A and B are shown apart, each in its own frame.
Chain A
């Protein structure tokens, strides 16, 4: 009995909350900036909870929140006050979550492809006919040691330790773009140095 009453109280609370959101949104559609600010700040935790429910990675939740807020801003004229505002936000959040995960997947794939391509280029360019395997390893280590700090870090973490761009970015504090540029420069430099060393 107590559980049912609690469930009913929660439902009433959710309905009241949704009614409040709807009122704020109608005021915002009419141009009330205070109401709009209150509404957006109120729904940030709602979007955050929905993001975690949609299994969005923790470091991407705020990206998603900004994405959803921007969508709400652009689509505010398309909200029908007869319908639930919470459901409206939930559907937008769900769709934007899917878009975000697809973008992440594409970026990871693109980063992996470019790293693999560079790795293949280095391996095929290495004059392995003239150096035995141990000498090759020594040559690569020495060449890596001569790289500038940023490029050396990118090669060690991404190519040798096989970290993802996100992991490397989180540990080094460098942006994903910066890591990619450093890796590209490092592999280009290594190719040049190792080719010079063998005289080909």
Chain B
């Protein structure tokens, strides 16, 4: 019983400390407004890179290979839904079920990208993509992901998550999917199997990098 009283005293002491420590705080931006800001930033980034890419070649390719539309739509939806999940998980009271939201568009993205592979196998006259093109794809995804990651971390800095790892994984997935869409400006080809593997590797590097370094960047006290 003495121990019990000590614990209640500890709770009361903690309350007094917390009250003494209280300072006004501006409320965090709602997930909807955060999402709108993020989409605006990514779109602005895309428009900024347009003059350096081959938009005409991309349109021509899309007209001749409709499944590329599916892959691009899948990547865009993956980026949007993964960002939405990250913004929700950045608040302490949201259900884990939101983790399922990016799964269907991700399946579309991966599946439609894979159809390009099948076309390469069934139509050998298409020929292989040179190795330096694959290295360029890898470099473009990683390089584009860096500024997008910085912008994403800036967007996430004010939340408070009880699932910080999940926040960073979905944030990384969103950034990687957006980078994959931007890549199409510079790489408007069907993906070969090796291409997909290289893309997947670049995406994993972005997701893991965000997971490893993102926590430190946004200064999460409970990130362990």
Contact = CB atoms under 8 A, between A and B. Distances in A.
Given A69-B15, A70-B14, A62 B7 contact: yes
Interface in A91-112: 91-92, 95-96
A76 B10 CA distance: 21
B22 A33 contact: yes
A149 interface: no
A91 B160 CA distance: 13
Interface of A is mostly: helix
Contacts of B91: 78, 80
A147 interface: no
Contacts of A37: 15-16, 19
B14 A75 contact: no
Interface stretch (A24-32, A130-138, A160-168, A182-190): A24-32
B23 interface: yes
A31 B24 contact: yes
Contacts of B94: 91
Interface in A1-59: 28-31, 33, 36-37, 40-41, 44, 59
B10 A66 contact: yes
Interface string B12-27: 0011101111111111
B11 interface: yes
A92 B24 contact: no
Given A62-B8, A83-B93, A71 B162 contact: yes
Given A78-B160, A80-B30, A29 B25 contact: yes
Contacts of A75: 92, 160
A197 interface: no
Contacts of B50: none
A31 B94 CA distance: 25
A136 to B, nearest CB: 39
Contacts of A78: 27-28, 90-92, 158-160
Nearest to A82: B30
B60 interface: no
Contacts of A79: 27
A77 B25 contact: yes
A150 to B, nearest CB: 19
Contact of A65 (B11, B30, B92): B11
Contact of A95 (B16, B21, B92): B92
Contact of B18 (A36, A65, A92): A36
B97 interface: no
Most buried by B among A62, A63, A88: A62
Nearest to A60: B7
Interface of A: 28-31, 33, 36-37, 40-41, 44, 59, 62-63, 65-66, 69-71, 73-81, 83, 87-88, 91-92, 95-96
6 contacts: A30-B24, A33-B20, A33-B22, A37-B19, A76-B25, A87-B93
